[in-house]
Structure 1
């Protein structure tokens, strides 16, 4: 069973997802997609680590997640992946490397992201363990001023729609309150 947890920044998504994971089983595999690039991100990662139970297994990964989420997963170990939006960002920047932003082919970038998401969805469908995915709802604000942010918002929105379609449950978290919307 796949569950998708979405909401805005600092809405309580992580806490809600962690609560659902704990309710689903004692054992949890936490897949962290963040890459620590600076001290601010390191502090965010530490905060998330400290909020999780110490006995949860943690794996840092954001690519080829179908090698981690497989039919061989223990059905008694819940998989919690946080977060899809960070995964999208990681794939985007790995794809473009250090090329100039004005040369980026956003259709090709989205196709690469789509490959990762398709593989992830298929992996979740084959996995015998419950899988909880956390994502950000980035399209509820104003239209971003710059090109990258507009494309990112659009790509993330389409990814979230695909994940919500594939998920058996979808939760929207607002002000720390989770509302089941599917």
Structure 2
């Protein structure tokens, strides 16, 4: 089962996703994809970690999620945006290369028999990016969101803490 959850910044995606995972598993996995970019980001990551109790297994993987063996588990993948950022930067801001790598990695990852709750951001719904790299990333994010949403069994859009069922 793949449950895709998207929405804007601070829309309640992570809280909703973690509750969904706890509703179906006693010991879910929290798969964090963020790099630590600076001290502020480190503090945000620590806040997320502190919000999860001992029922959770925490795994950190910046890019190569398909190497993880999570068969039979319930996994919260948080999040596509940070994962894509790593791929985008490491592919020297090449949208095509990053999208190709992301799709390949995602396809390999979902070959496992597991419950995947995958969080992403709808960054294209906000302010128009003022830089070329920002505009390219918004396109990359939008295309990957569409790709994942099509593969998902269920899709939810979070708006102001409210889950809206899309699929």
After TM superposition, is the score higher than 0.5?
Answer: yes
Distance 1:166 1:138 in 2: 20
Distance 2:91 2:102 in 1: 12
Distance 1:122 1:5 in 2: 20
How do 1:89-104 residues align onto structure 2 when only pairs under 5 Å count? 89-96=85-92
Report the aligned-residue RMSD.
1.5
Residue 117 of structure 2 aligns with which residue?
Answer: 132
Q: Pick closer, same or farther for the CA change 1:89–1:148 going to 2, 3 Å.
A: same
Q: How many residue pairs align between the two structures?
A: 167
TM, length-normalised to structure 2: 0.93
How do 1:19-168 residues align onto structure 2 when only pairs under 5 Å count? 19-68=19-68, 70=69, 73-75=70-72, 77-96=73-92, 106=94, 109-124=95-110, 126-168=111-153
Distance 1:132 1:7 in 2: 14
Q: What secondary structure does 1:135 align onto?
A: strand
Residue 165 of structure 2 aligns with which residue?
Answer: 180
Unaligned runs of 5+ in 2: none
* TM-aligned CA deviation for residue 30 of structure 1: 1.0
Greater Cα radius of gyration, structure 1 or 2: 1
Q: Pick closer, same or farther for the CA change 1:117–1:62 going to 2, 3 Å.
A: farther
* TM-aligned CA deviation for residue 128 of structure 1: 1.5
